[in-house]
Amino acid sequence: AQSVTQPDIHITVSEGASLELRCNYSYGATPYLFWYVQSPGQGLQLLLKYFSGDTLVQGIKGFEAEFKRSQSSFNLRKPSVHWSDAAEYFCAVGASAGGTSYGKLTFGQGTILTVHP
C-alpha cells in the first residue's frame, strides 16, 4: 500500500528566508507525486506535479520540488518565502496505471507554514 510521510507538522520561517518542506513516500512502482497548498478557508490548490522525466519540477508561486528515487523523497522548496505563502502544504502520491486504485491520492499529514515578518 502507498503511504506518505511529512515529518514536520509545523514550520516557522522569516519572510525572505528559504524554505524546504520534506516529503517521503512509499510506493512499489514509479509514483505520481503532487504538492498541494491550502490557504485558510479555501480548497486545495495544486502547486506542482511529477509524473516522469526531469526530476526537478517547477510549479506555481515560485515553488519547485525534486524527486529523488533513491531516497523516496519529493521535497518542496522555495528560495525566498513571502508572507502570503503562509498556509498548509500537503504532499500526495497517486497510484500509477493499473488496478482499481489508479488515480486515487494518498496524502501526508500536512505541514503548516507560518511566516514571520
Partner 1 sequence: EAGVTQFPSHSVIEKGQTVTLRCDPISGHDNLYWYRRVMGKEIKFLLHFVKESKQDESGMPNNRFLAERTGGTYSTLKVQPAELEDSGVYFCASSQGRGMPQHFGDGTRLSIL
Q: Which residues bind partner 1 (CB under 8 A)?
A: 32, 34, 36, 41-46, 49, 51, 90, 94-97, 100-110
Q: Write down the least CB distance from residue 9 to partner 1, Å.
A: 10
Nearer to partner 1, 45 or 84 (CB): 45
Name residue, grid cell 497517486.
94
Q: Write down the least CB distance from residue 109 to partner 1, Å.
A: 5
Nearer to partner 1, 87 or 94 (CB): 94
Q: Do 97 and 29 form a contact (C-beta atoms < 8 A)?
A: no
DSSP states along 47-115: EEEE-SS-SEEE-GGG-EEEEEGGGTEEEEEESS--GGG-EEEEEEEE--SSSTTTT-EEE---EEEEE
Q: Write down the least CB distance from residue 46 to partner 1, Å.
A: 5
Nearer to partner 1, 19 or 105 (CB): 105
